[in-house]
Amino acid sequence: MTVKSVTSDKRQATSNNRSKHVGALVLASLIAASGCSASYSGERLFWQAQRHAANILNARSSAPTPEQVAEAMTACELVITRVPQTVWAPRAYLLMASLHLRQRQYDKAREAYALVVQNYHRYQDLCLQARMHRAKSYEAQDLWDEAADAYYELADYYPWTAIGLPAPLYVAENYRRRRQTEEATEAYQRAVGRYTKLLPTSPTKELTAKAKMLLAAAHQRLDKWPEAARLMEELIAAPDGIDQAAVLMSLGVAYQTKLDDPAKARQTYERLLTAFPQHPMSKIAKARLEQMGVSIPAELAARVDASPLSSGGTLTIIPRKSP
């Protein structure tokens, strides 16, 4: 083989490699463009579905017509059919579920939520929404046992979210409000077990504090005041992400009315006044100290009197509304 032919072969190989490289770039660009195109198309289709659905969801005073419902559902189905692998598909399912709920078609709504959870794992925020609304749909039907199971399931999958973390205590509180004493006690005990097991896995100090507050509340409901007081002492020592003054107030009340320890109650109230004289809880602490016969320095008393008034007594951390 001559030098000339070797050089020619090298040039041909280099040219082929360049062609392959360019071809790969073109293919990658086409794939990327296709993905962008699908996302853009999905966004437009979803916007149209939202527009149809808004006429139904925003008209609370009148029932939607069959034609309105059909148009909105068809628009949602078009999103799912045209762009099934984009984020717009699970959003369309959630929108369809809302339309079903508007018509009190709870089973159909839950079917749509189930499809989001089953088929779109990569969109965890939407799966969380689906699980939450599924639980609320049972509440809307007053099927509380089913709702409780759904909330527990949500807490299992998303334990450290703003929705999942308070869910076990929320379940217990609802049993209590429904005067189902036995079920409420069992649910509080279950909440204690869940939070105790969960705490070592906390990803942040703030979430540790929130979990301890919920655990303290569950102990309170079970009349386990020493355990509740211990947790509140821990919260005060490391007040990340909490209302420290409110915890001090709750701890003082626990010492005074539940643990029969007036000395610690006084110490806790005085600590609250000194550290947070402008906090709404300070007036309550001042009144309790005066009832105990404790003299408060005039300057501190004046600062407390200038603070806004608050009603209170025990921990204000029990979830009152659905998570």
Residue 161 lies in a domain: yes
Q: What is the pTM of this model?
A: 0.81
- Identify whether 158 is part of a domain: yes
| Separation of alpha carbons 216 and 220, rounded Å | 6
pLDDT at 184: 98
213 and 265 assigned to the same domain: no
- Please give the tally of structural domains in the chain: 3
Within this chain, do residues 43 and 136 fall inside the same structural domain, yes or no?
Answer: yes
Q: How far apart are CA 69 and CA 135, in angstroms?
A: 24
pLDDT computed for residue 25 by the predictor: 46
Q: Is residue 102 part of a domain?
A: yes
In the numeric block, which tokens belong to residue 267? Answer: 């110490």
299 against 268, higher pLDDT = 268
Residue 74 confidence (pLDDT) = 96
How many CB atoms are closer than 10 A to CB 48?
Answer: 16
Indicate whether 307 pLDDT > 80.
Answer: no
Q: Which domain holds residue 181?
A: 143-224
Distance from C-alpha of 288 to C-alpha of 282, rounded to nearest angstrom: 10
4-18, 89-103, 223-237, 238-252: least confident range: 4-18
Q: Which two tokens stand for residue 81?
A: 């059919």
Burial of 81 (0-12, 13-18, 19+ CB in 10 A): exposed
pLDDT for the residue 64: 84
Most confident region among 7-21, 59-73, 139-153 by mean pLDDT: 139-153
CATH number of the structural domain spanning residue 95: 1.25.40
Domain termination residue (choose one: 112, 141, 170): 141
pLDDT at 304: 84
Q: Is residue 164 part of a domain?
A: yes
Q: How far apart are CA 215 and CA 166, in angstroms?
A: 10
Residue 17: its pLDDT value, please?
A: 53
For 111, other C-beta atoms within 10 Å of its C-beta total 15
In a domain, 116, yes or no: yes
Contacts 24+ apart (CB under 8 A), 192-199: 192/218, 192/219, 192/222, 194/155, 194/168, 195/168, 198/159, 198/160
Question: Band of the pLDDT at 242, cuts 50, 70, 90?
Answer: confident
pLDDT band of residue 21 (cuts 50, 70, 90) is low
